[in-house]
Amino acid sequence: MNSRIDRIILVIFLGITAALAFLPNFVESEYLLRLITVVIFWIGIAGCWNMMSGYTGYIDFGPVVYFGIGSYVVAIAMTKYGIPFFPSLLLSGIMSSLVAFLVGIPTLRLRGAYFAIATFAFAEAMKQITLEFDRTFSVSFFQGSDGITLPISGHDNSFFFYCVLPVTFLVVLAHYFIEHSKFGYGLKAIKEAETAAEISGVNTTANKLGAYVSSAFFLGLFGAIEAYWITYITPSDVFNVQKTVQMVIMTLLGGMGTFLGPVVGATFLTLISEALGARFVEYYLIMIGGIIIVAILIMPNGIIGSLKIRKKFRFI
């Protein structure tokens, strides 16, 4: 156990986060600040997926549903009930985790591809429900495909930077604690051999549910922040399966079930799409596809995962 190396990485991580907190004071360019915010945003979201799927090995193919629920809760709370942003934000997280709890109980009994299909189906179902609910019941609640326009915040980019940074910080920090805790060892045991974990005393249901619910809580927060940032949401935007795919790819690229995986993967993918997107507007998606394929071929366990194996170096 290289807990010393882990501690050094933690200190570096805390240092970088502290340094980032002062960033808006120095960065002149709004574009750069926004780009950095987006990177941090995706690190957090990919981290949410990793928290559940990376550690337990249960491939969640519908995490976007909790993102979407977060968006809708904040939108409805703010527009229909006039609740200010921060209480609404908290409400989003709580609602997302509550739904995750109820959905998790039946779906986490499924294993392998069946779990992936069930979560995917649930995400699609939620999209359809928000789309059709108002028309079916003749009410005006989710506002279907018209979407909801949130109150214009009037906040600048640094406000959202400071919204995203602490949440991502908590997500990454949660990874560190998962790595070194009883809970985390339980999750990793479930990933390796679930029955063996159960007979070794791991309460598999409670552990899986714990990971699923915490992942949903943070996704709800991110969904809420994005809704307030963009100020206009529709079901097909916030429940878009592309978000799920992006979380999965970022984590796989960085390394599943590792502390730094989502950080590296999300940074790499966001920056590279930004760099290529500006220069090769028409072809950049093809190029990114190629890069992902090559990266996965060379490093099947992701950047961090492969480093860990090649160097026989055990760190988070």
| Contacting residues toward another protein, per CB under 8 A | 1, 180-182, 185-186, 188-189, 191-193, 195-204, 314
The nearer residue to another protein, 4 or 28, going by C-beta atoms, is 4
Residue 187: burial class (beta carbons within 10 Å; 0-12, 13-18, 19+): buried
List phi, psi (to 5°) of 175. Answer: -60, -45
| Chain-centre distance for alpha carbon 154 | 26
Q: Which is nearer to another protein, 56 or 130 (CB)?
A: 56
- Output the smallest distance, CB 53 to another protein, in A: 15
What is the smallest separation between the CB atom of 210 and another protein, expressed in angstroms? 13
Minimum CB separation of residue 205 from another protein in Å reads 8
CB of 7 to another protein, least distance (A): 15
Q: What is the DSSP string of 94-126?
A: HHHHHHHHHHHHHHTTS-THHHHHHHHHHHHHH
- Rounded to whole angstroms, the Cα distance separating 199 from 202 reads 7
Min CB(181)–another protein separation in Å: 7
* Beta-sheet strands, E only, within the chain: 148-149, 232-233
Q: Are 114 and 60 in contact (CB under 8 A)?
A: no
- The 3-state DSSP class for residue 1 equals coil
